């Protein structure tokens, strides 16, 4: 088995495919189809919450547009 070359579309500081970057965001409201509006440093964005049982007010960890966990206090 050989190492794979980085994808040609991996530009900038991080790559969705290669990075392990996770951000914490607050769920503002739930939308249809397993999506949620969340508050980020850049403003309001839409992410998937299909893998977690998030509610408005929860802080979720997001990687590549997918919520992967809920932050417990």
Does residue 7 sit within a domain? no
Does residue 61 sit within a domain? yes
Report the pLDDT value the prediction gives residue 21, as an integer from 0 to 100.
85
Does residue 2 sit within a domain? no
The confidence band for 17, taking pLDDT boundaries of 50, 70 and 90, is low
Cα–Cα distance, 34 to 11 (Å, whole number) = 29
Does residue 10 sit within a domain? no
What range defines the domain where residue 63 resides? 23-70
Number of folded domains that form the chain = 1
Q: What pTM, to 2 d.p., does this model score?
A: 0.74
Report the pLDDT value the prediction gives residue 1, as an integer from 0 to 100.
42
Does residue 43 sit within a domain? yes
- Domain containing 30 — which CATH number? 2.30.30.140
């Amino acid at each position: 088995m050989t190492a794979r070359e980085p994808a040609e579309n991996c530009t900038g500081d991080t790559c969705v495919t290669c990075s392990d970057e996770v951000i914490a965001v607050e769920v503002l409201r739930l939308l249809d189809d397993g999506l949620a509006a969340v508050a980020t440093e850049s403003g309001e964005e839409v992410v998937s919450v299909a893998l977690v049982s998030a509610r408005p007010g929860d802080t979720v960890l997001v990687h590549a547009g997918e919520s992967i966990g809920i932050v417990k206090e």
